A = this chain, B = another copy of it.
Amino acid sequence: MKKRIAVLGSTGSIGTQALEVIDKNPESFELMAITAGNNADLLIEQALRFVPRHVVIGNESKYAYVRDALAHLPVNVAAGFDTIVKAAGLEEIDMVLTAMVGYSGLLPTVEAVKSGKDIALANKETLVVAGEYIKKIAAENHVQILPVDSEHSAIFQCLVGEPAKSIEKIYLTASGGPFRGKTREALEHVTKKEALQHPNWCMGNKVTIDSASLMNKGLEVIEARWLFDLPPDQIDVIIHPQSIIHSMVQFTDGSLKAQMGLPDMRLPIQYALGFPDRLKSDFPRFNFADYPSLTFQKPDTSVFRNLELAFEALRKGGNMPCILNAANEIVVNAFLNDKVKFLQMPSIIEKVMHKISFIPNPSLDDYCASDSESRTITRELITAKTVF
Contacts and interface: CB of A to CB of B under 8 A. Distances in A.
A132 to B, nearest CB: 27
| Stoichiometry (number of copies) | 2
Nearest to A276: B163
A295 B296 CA distance: 12
Interface residues of A, number: 50
A285 interface: yes
A160 B160 contact: yes
- Which 10 pairs from chain A and chain B are nearest by CB? A161-B161, A160-B161, A256-B260, A288-B296, A166-B278, A254-B283, A258-B258, A253-B281, A294-B294, A252-B280
A286 interface: yes
A11 B261 CA distance: 41
A191 interface: no
Task: Indicate the member of A253, A278, A286, A296 with the most B CB atoms within 10 Å.
Answer: A253
A270 B253 contact: yes
A260 B258 contact: yes
Contacts of A248: 260
A253 to B, nearest CB: 5
A237 to B, nearest CB: 11
Contacts of A162: 160-161, 278
A256 B163 contact: no
Nearest to A279: B253
A158 B238 CA distance: 22
Contact of A255 (B267, B276, B284, B297): B267
11 contacts: A163-B276, A163-B278, A252-B278, A253-B281, A253-B283, A254-B285, A256-B259, A258-B260, A293-B293, A293-B294, A294-B296
Task: Indicate the member of A280, A292, A294 with the most B CB atoms within 10 Å.
Answer: A294
A179 interface: no
A378 interface: no
Contacts of A264: 254
Contacts of A288: 171, 238, 296-298
B238 A253 contact: no
Contact of A291 (B270, B280, B296): B296
A280 B256 contact: no
Interface in A140-176: 157-163, 166, 171
Interface string A260-290: 1110100100110010111111011110110
A226 interface: no
Interface in A229-264: 238, 245, 248, 250-262, 264
Given A162-B160, A288-B238, A293-B295, A253 B267 contact: yes
Nearest to A285: B254
Contacts of A279: 252-253
Given A166-B278, A252-B278, A278-B252, A257 B292 contact: no
Contacts of A297: 288, 292
Contacts of A293: 293-296
A55 B134 CA distance: 58
A166 B157 CA distance: 13
Nearest to A268: B255
B296 A257 contact: no
Contacts of A238: 288
B281 A254 contact: yes
Contacts of A277: 163
A292 B281 contact: no
Task: Indicate the member of A255, A262, A298 with the most B CB atoms within 10 Å.
Answer: A255
Contact of A256 (B250, B286, B296): B286
A124 to B, nearest CB: 20
